[in-house]
Structure 1
Amino acid sequence: MASDQQDPDALRVYFSEELRRTRQRAKLSQAQFANALGCTPQWICQLEKADKTVSEQTALDLDTYFKTDGSDQDDGHFHRIYTAIRRAGRHRVLLPGFNAYLRHESKATSIRCFAAQVVPGLLQTEDYTRGTMDQSEPAETLDARTAGRIDRQAILTRDKPPETMFVLDESVLRRPVGGQKTMIDQIEHLICAAQSPHIQVRIMPFHRITPVALVGGMILLSFEKEGDLLYFETGCVGQLVDREDAVFKAGVHFITMVGEALSQAESIEFMIQARETYL
């Protein structure tokens, strides 16, 4: 696939062209192919014109029917194109600057995060994730953003997960993102995460006024052989900083916030009480 096909629209066109080419090689008309798959010729026509969103099941069905290379392991030709479409779609909807951050997050050995507004993406439930988004956006955009955010969480359960510490402002628990049930499930998820040996969740209650915590959220990444990085967002742009003085200062601020936050045990109890306010 050409490099310009990293655009999800171009990839969808590529998918449709490959489908039409493969069908014609098999000497099948659209009507014959539709009959074999148990769908309508109109549906096949829409796929071949790139007028229809490609689903994962469609890609798998096509690979199975045509017995493409890797189809027996759900990694056939059409599924690989589908995966590329999905990946490219996520990149398109990312906040400018965040894609650079993601390339480093997966390699970090330690993640320290202060969240001043909402639950950090690594700890969000799917419903909460959707609740943070602008519902006027196209469904495909919302699906791509949600899938991307949830997929990131795999680093927390891999064989060697990073050591993570999250300091959450109390407002994160009080802001009813997604409604009552979503918040109950989200806080329960936070409580479970806080009991993991590799994850610490600390709450910064309202009555502990710490000036450095009023500036806004930030994330600090540490690596085995590279210098630390600082990530923060301003307006509609994310910024990744590697200047040693800025990263060091942010690290000092984070230590200050941890000192002012509740202990792990106190934070879990605080979250339990916060969850009860939504019952």
Structure 2
Amino acid sequence: MASDQQDPDALRIYFSEELRRTRQRAKLSQSQLANALGCTPQWICQLEKTDKTVSEQTALDLDTYFKTDGWDQDDGHFHRIHTAIRRAGRHRVLLPGFDAYLRHESQAIGIRCFAAQVVPGLLQTESYARGLMMPGDTVETLDARVAGRMERQSILTRQNPPMTIFVLDESVLHRPVGSRKIMVEQLDHLIGLEQSLDVDLRVLPYDRASPAGLEGGFMLLNFAHEVDLMYIEAAGVGQLIDSRSMLFKAGVRFSLVMGEALSRAETFQLLSRSREEYL
């Protein structure tokens, strides 16, 4: 499975093969296994032919029935394959270049972000994130992208999270994404960061327009032992940059934007006023 671990289709085939092998080793027919699990033989047949999407509950039920290694901690054999399928599916729907960024983001000790268009992914609510997705994508693709974005936010709540600074252009607060209710929820989420010791949130107001803030958003990642990186997106493609000269210039840009931004107290006052506009 190792060589195919980033291919969700190969992983689904692997799941079906493992199910068939495990069932046959237990000398069970599809009907007998279906009876034990409370489903139909057709369901088991479809799982073994990869005609059915593997749900997490199905994986857990199979682990429990067969007592696979780790089943009593919801970390059995079939659940591990299901998790791999889910993760591989999320990587498949990422923007070109973003997969590489994610691998570095999880290792960063510091993150600085200037958001010029929308609330950055690390701070989005699920409804807001869904509202940004392209309507032409399939439901499966949308679900995978949203789930991946929510999972990515765990770095902010883990033990020893990175120190993060987010500067949002004021237009982000007034650009409606989805419904008014979604915007209220999103702003509530941002306001809830007021007491955070690890997340510094600021807003660059309209009346302090800085030339450094007119060149678009970007993210800067700092590492304990690796070279720092910058990430930018344009035309649906992401790019990681490790050029020292470009990183220096981006650092200067961020300092200029930060210098023009509202204070922390002023930022949360503006967030509260913006929230009232959507009620």
SS in 2 for 1:6: coil
Determine the structure 1 residue equivalent to 2:6. Answer: 6
Structure-1 separation of matches of 2:135 and 2:41: 33
Worse overlay, 181-190 or 27-36: 27-36
Matches within 5 A, 1:78-227: 78-227=78-227
TM-score scaled to structure 2, two decimals?
A: 0.97
Alpha-carbon offset, residue 239 of structure 1: 0.7
Provide the aligned length of Structure 1 versus Structure 2: 279
Determine the structure 1 residue equivalent to 2:25. Answer: 25
Cα displacement string for residues 93-115 of structure 1 (whole angstroms, at most 9, x for unaligned residues): 11111111111111111110001
Counterpart residue type for residue 96 of structure 2: P
Counterpart residue type for residue 266 of structure 1: E
Counterpart residue type for residue 19 of structure 1: L
Counterpart residue type for residue 25 of structure 2: R
Alpha-carbon offset, residue 6 of structure 1: 2.2
Counterpart residue type for residue 33 of structure 1: L
SS in 1 for 2:164: strand
Matches within 5 A, 1:231-250: 231-250=231-250
Structure-2 separation of matches of 1:13 and 1:249: 48
Alpha-carbon offset, residue 135 of structure 1: 3.1
Alpha-carbon offset, residue 234 of structure 1: 1.3
Structure-2 separation of matches of 1:89 and 1:244: 34
Determine the structure 2 residue equivalent to 1:269. Answer: 269
SS in 1 for 2:201: strand
Worse overlay, 13-22 or 264-273: 13-22
Structure-2 separation of matches of 1:255 and 1:194: 21
Is structure 2 residue 36 aligned with structure 1 residue 36? yes
Alpha-carbon offset, residue 2 of structure 1: 4.2
Cα displacement string for residues 69-121 of structure 1 (whole angstroms, at most 9, x for unaligned residues): 11111111101100110111111111111111111111111110001111111
SS in 1 for 2:178: coil
SS in 1 for 2:206: coil
Alpha-carbon offset, residue 23 of structure 1: 1.3
Structure-2 separation of matches of 1:55 and 1:193: 34
Structure-2 separation of matches of 1:8 and 1:161: 30
Tell me: CA distance 1:5–1:228, structure 2 relative to 1, closer, same or farther (3 Å).
Answer: closer
SS in 1 for 2:196: coil
Determine the structure 1 residue equivalent to 2:252. Answer: 252
TM-score scaled to structure 1, two decimals?
A: 0.97
Cα displacement string for residues 235-256 of structure 1 (whole angstroms, at most 9, x for unaligned residues): 1211111110000000000011
Structure-2 separation of matches of 1:154 and 1:65: 31
Structure-2 separation of matches of 1:205 and 1:144: 34
Counterpart residue type for residue 252 of structure 2: V
Alpha-carbon offset, residue 5 of structure 1: 4.3
Determine the structure 2 residue equivalent to 1:57. Answer: 57
Cα displacement string for residues 150-175 of structure 1 (whole angstroms, at most 9, x for unaligned residues): 11111111221111110001121112
Structure-2 separation of matches of 1:217 and 1:53: 38
SS in 1 for 2:17: helix
Structure-2 separation of matches of 1:5 and 1:261: 44
Determine the structure 2 residue equivalent to 1:15. Answer: 15
RMSD: 1.2
Counterpart residue type for residue 180 of structure 1: R
